[in-house]
Structure 1
């Protein structure tokens, strides 16, 4: 599968998680960061999307320890939470 197709598929999966909160956190993160990702980051994000939303959200908010396989720059960027759109 080519890069563009993988990214389109990931964007859909990131924005269709099942709850609005998860959509905003995971989808917003994808939109803010995917253009800078190489194949390794894409593969890691694909794996991350297999996890439960409550776990991903807990890792991003720091209420649960991040599993070893996800520690690194991608998770550090997820933990910033500066990509979540907030209506004012």
Structure 2
């Protein structure tokens, strides 16, 4: 079963939501969108939205493999998006 892809409007909103205060985070997110925007699913977008609730330094720690998703972020969808951010 294929998952619904994120439409252009949803992608635009997600890009805007992903703007961060730390340049390092912006660089990771820019690379993420360059690689994955064409096949990003609604489910993955929701997981990325969830990650955007994190403070900048906590998000950076996840992307740099200093920490792993924990608590409410310890879900399969979030872990999938974190892996996509790390590659």
- What is the TM-score of this pair, normalised by structure 1? 0.71
Q: CA RMSD in A?
A: 1.8
- 1:10-37 deviation digits (Å, cap 9, x = unpaired): 11232x2112212111232123212211
Partner of 1:77 in structure 2?
84
Gap regions ≥5 residues in structure 1: 81-88
Q: Which runs of 5+ in 2 are unaligned?
A: 1-5
> In 2, are the aligned partners of 1:11 and 1:31 still within 8 Å (CA)?
no
Contact 1:13 1:49 in 2 (8 A): yes
The alignment of Structure 1 onto Structure 2 pairs a total of residues equal to 77
Q: Moved runs in structure 1, 4+ residues, more than 4 A?
A: none
